[in-house]
Amino acid sequence: NAGVTQTPKFRILKIGQSMTLQCAQDMNHNYMYWYRQDPGMGLKLIYYSVGAGITDKGEVPNGYNVSRSTTEDFPLRLELAAPSQTSVYFCASSPTSMGTGELFFGEGSRLTVL
Amino acid sequence: GENVEQHPSTLSVQEGDSAVIKCTYSDSASNYFPWYKQELGKGPQLIIDIRSNVGEKKDQRIAVTLNKTAKHFSLHITETQPEDSAVYFCAASRGGGGSQGNLIFGKGTKLSVKP
CB atoms within 10 A of CB A99: 22
Q: Is the pLDDT of residue B98 over 60?
A: no
Q: For residues A45 and A58, is the Cβ–Cβ distance under 8 A? A: yes
Cα–Cα distance, A99 to B115 (Å, whole number) = 37
pLDDT at B97 over 70: no
Partners of A32 in the beta sheet?
A: A49, A93
Q: How far apart are CA A62 and CA A50, in angstroms?
A: 20
Contacts of B32 in chain A (CB under 8 A): 99-101
Q: How confident is the model at residue B94 (pLDDT cuts 50, 70, 90)?
A: confident
**Interatomic CA distance for residues A14 and A81, integer angstroms:** 7
| Interface membership of B8 toward A (CB under 8 Å) | no
Q: Does A1 touch chain B (CB under 8 A)?
A: no
* Chain B CB contacts of A99 below 8 Å: 31-32, 93-94, 100-103
Q: Tell me how far apart the alpha carbons of residues B47 and B85 are, in angstroms, rounded to a whole number.
A: 13
pLDDT at A42: 87
Q: Is residue A56 within 8 Å of A64, Cβ to Cβ?
A: no
User: What are the tens digits of pLDDT across the range A9-64?
Assistant: 999 999 999 999 999 999 999 999 999 999 888 899 999 999 999 999 998 999 99
Mean pLDDT of B79-89: 97
Alpha carbon of A18: minimum distance to chain B alpha carbons (Å): 24
Q: Any CB–CB contact under 8 A between B29 and chain A?
A: no
Within chain A, what is the greatest distance between any pair of CA atoms?
39
First-to-last C-alpha distance (Å) of chain B: 41
CA nearest B88: which of B27, B14, B17, B8?
B8
Mind listing the pLDDT tens digit for each residue in B27-59? 888 889 999 999 999 999 999 999 988 899 999
Selection from B109, B115, B114 nearest residue B47 by Cα: B109
Which among B36, B103, B107, B110 is the top mutation candidate for probing chain A, defined by the most A β-carbons within 10 Å of its own β-carbon? Answer: B103
Distance CA B5, CA B103 (A): 13
Q: Answer whether B48's CB lies under 8 Å from B64's CB.
A: yes
What is the pLDDT, as a whole number, of residue A48? 93
Give me the residues of A, 37-66, that contact B with CB < 8 A.
Answer: 40-45, 48, 50, 56, 58-59
Q: How far is CA A111 from the centre of its chain?
A: 12
